[in-house]
């Protein structure tokens, strides 16, 4: 994983900010797969799991590799273009798949994200909206922080008129354990600039995301 492949929000000062900027990326260090495998083996044995069983013998290795995959985003290069056509309406990408690890229980949460912005002088390559989401979700997270990180990063990089992020996700730490409420989803939002301050623009964005908020 190469956190330096994208610029953290702290390197830029966003315009028209309505909330304090979140500083830093929170990305994890380079994983040590061999040590993680040893740790997984110790954990499983401590839970009473018989790793001598043929079907379980390589489970620590697979378990460690799976977790590494979940916390290792693919590097990408930020691609923006001049807004030569003077486009001044919302750009929204809906239903982007999102998955991350709850940092409190290390169980996944999965769902969809709706990300949009009202452009200023620059527009963004559309695939980068999903890549930014992947970058910040590929680490131990809480949904509230993830939502704010994506919005702040886009605000800092693009200097748009407004940014909106809505995430709806199911948390396995809530549906498989604890209260055990399967099917429950959590919705979080982060709105910046005119999407926060102007009620009509905010309503338009939320209608485009089909959010009931």
Catalytic residue among 102, 134, 141, 204: 102
171 is catalytic: yes
Residue from 141, 143, 149, 157 carrying the catalytic annotation: 143
Whether residue 45 lies in the annotated active site: no
Annotated catalytic residue, options 104, 121, 144, 210: 104
Active-site residue 105, yes or no? yes
210 included as an active-site residue:
no
- Catalytic residue flag (residue 170): no
Query: Which three-class secondary structure string do you get for the chain?
Result: CCHHHCCCHHHCCCCCCCCCCCCCCCCCCCCCHHHHHHHHHHHHHHCCCCCCCHHHCCHHHHHHHHHHHHCCCCCCCCCEEECCCCCCCCEEEEEEEEEEEECCCCCEEEEEEEEEEECCCEEECCHHHHHHHHHHHCCEECHHHHHHHHHHHHHHHHCCCEEEEEEEEEEHHHHCCCCCCCCCCEEEEEEEEHHHHCHHHHHHHHHHCCCCC
Give me the catalytic one of 69, 103, 121, 144.
Answer: 103
Active site residues: 102-105, 143, 171, 173
């Amino acid at each position: 994983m190469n956190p330096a492949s994208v610029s953290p929000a702290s390197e830029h000062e966003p315009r028209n900010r309505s909330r304090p900027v979140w500083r830093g990326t929170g990305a994890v260090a380079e994983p040590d797969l061999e040590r993680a495998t040893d740790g997984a083996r110790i954990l499983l044995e401590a839970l009473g799991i018989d790793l001598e069983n043929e079907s379980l013998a390589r489970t620590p290795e697979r378990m460690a590799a799976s977790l590494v995959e979940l916390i290792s985003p693919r590097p990408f290069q930020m691609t923006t273009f001049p807004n030569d056509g003077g486009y001044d309406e919302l750009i929204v990408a809906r239903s982007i798949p999102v998955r991350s690890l709850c940092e409190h229980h290390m169980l996944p949460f999965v769902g969809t994200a709706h990300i949009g912005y009202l452009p200023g002088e620059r527009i963004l390559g559309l695939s980068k909206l999903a890549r930014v989401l992947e970058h910040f979700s590929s680490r131990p997270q809480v949904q509230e922080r993830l939502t704010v990180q994506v919005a702040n990063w886009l605000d800092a990089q693009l200097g748009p008129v407004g940014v909106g992020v809505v995430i709806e996700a199911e948390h396995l730490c809530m549906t498989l354990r604890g209260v055990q409420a399967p099917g429950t989803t959590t919705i979080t939002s982060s709105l910046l600039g005119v999407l926060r301050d102007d009620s009509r623009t905010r309503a338009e964005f939320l209608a485009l995301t089909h959010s009931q908020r």
